[in-house]
């Protein structure tokens, strides 16, 4: 089994360069493949705006709903789903922010990792929010609910639906493998 360092550096060559002060410096040169999103610049800008805006709204609806002081939010089942949703929400943000800030050309590993984080986290978040909505409906039917309870259930539902929108958009967006980096810095190598 390969170590973490071996897996991390499998696409890099380690070169040693002699510095002006006489010391040897390790230089990591990427030798793997590059990838790019398979969309035009305008289409990619649209996808990034969609991801950014949906993630902001998703967070806003979730935070508003979770901070309401109502009996539904105090129940164990709803609290369970809300707490797990928070962990999934952090993962969604950890996927969407790098996607929105991504450049045209990236390492294949980084692109695949980013896409996987967005797809998995949004689907898990959607499922947890669906559970939260269901728990809220059951709580409202059995315990009675107010208008605020209905709005909280709606906010959780909208938050989950926005996660599904991000999932579907990311699933539709494909990527292409570009070329390998075959240029090495020759100056001062040992």
Q: Per the domain annotation, does 137 fall within a domain? A: yes
Q: Per the domain annotation, does 17 fall within a domain? A: no
Total domains in the fold of the chain: 1
Q: Per the domain annotation, does 107 fall within a domain? A: yes
Quickly state the pLDDT bin for 179 (edges 50, 70, 90).
Answer: low
Can you point out the beta strands (E) in 22-120? 24-30, 33-37, 106-107
Q: Which residue has the higher pLDDT, 21 or 170?
A: 170
C-alpha 56: how far from its chain's center?
13
Lowest mean pLDDT among 146-150, 166-170, 186-190: 186-190
Q: Per the domain annotation, does 87 fall within a domain? A: yes
Separation CA 90–CA 53 (nearest Å): 16
pLDDT digits 0-9 by tens, 96-125: 999 999 988 888 888 999 999 999 999 999
Separation CA 181–CA 29 (nearest Å): 9
pTM of the full predicted structure? 0.84
Q: Per the domain annotation, does 28 fall within a domain? A: no
Q: Per the domain annotation, does 4 fall within a domain? A: no
Choose from 36-45, 47-56, 74-83, 105-114 the range with maximum mean pLDDT: 47-56
Separation CA 54–CA 160 (nearest Å): 11
Quickly state the pLDDT bin for 184 (edges 50, 70, 90).
Answer: very low
Q: Which residue has the tokens 């259930």?
A: 153
Mean pLDDT in the chain? Answer: 89
Q: Which residue has the tokens 């797990």?
A: 84
Choose from 34-38, 101-105, 129-133 the range with maximum mean pLDDT: 129-133
Q: Is 100 exposed, middle or buried (0-12, 13-18, 19+ CB in 10 A)?
A: middle
Q: Which residue has the higher pLDDT, 30 or 161?
A: 161
- Domain with residue 61: its CATH number is 1.20.120
Q: Per the domain annotation, does 169 fall within a domain? A: yes
Please give the average per-residue pLDDT across 15-38, as a whole number: 87
């Amino acid at each position: 089994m390969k170590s973490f360092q071996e897996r991390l550096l499998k696409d890099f060559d380690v070169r040693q360069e002699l510095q002006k002060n006489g010391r040897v410096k390790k230089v990591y040169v990427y030798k793997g493949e590059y990838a790019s999103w398979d969309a035009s610049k305008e289409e990619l800008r649209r996808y990034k705006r969609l991801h950014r805006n949906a993630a902001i709204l998703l967070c806003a609806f979730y935070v508003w709903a979770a901070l309401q002081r109502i009996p539904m939010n105090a129940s164990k089942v709803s609290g369970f789903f809300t707490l797990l949703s928070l962990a999934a929400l952090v993962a969604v943000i950890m996927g969407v922010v790098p996607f929105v800030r991504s450049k045209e050309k990236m390492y294949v590993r980084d692109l695949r990792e980013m896409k996987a984080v967005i797809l998995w986290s949004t689907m898990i978040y959607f499922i947890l929010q669906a559970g939260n909505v269901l728990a809220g409906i059951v709580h409202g039917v059995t315990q009675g609910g107010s208008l605020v309870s209905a709005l909280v259930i709606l906010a959780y539902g909208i938050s989950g639906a926005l996660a599904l929108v991000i999932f579907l958009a990311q699933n539709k967006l494909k990527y292409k493998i570009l070329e390998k980096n075959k240029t090495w810095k020759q100056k001062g190598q040992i």
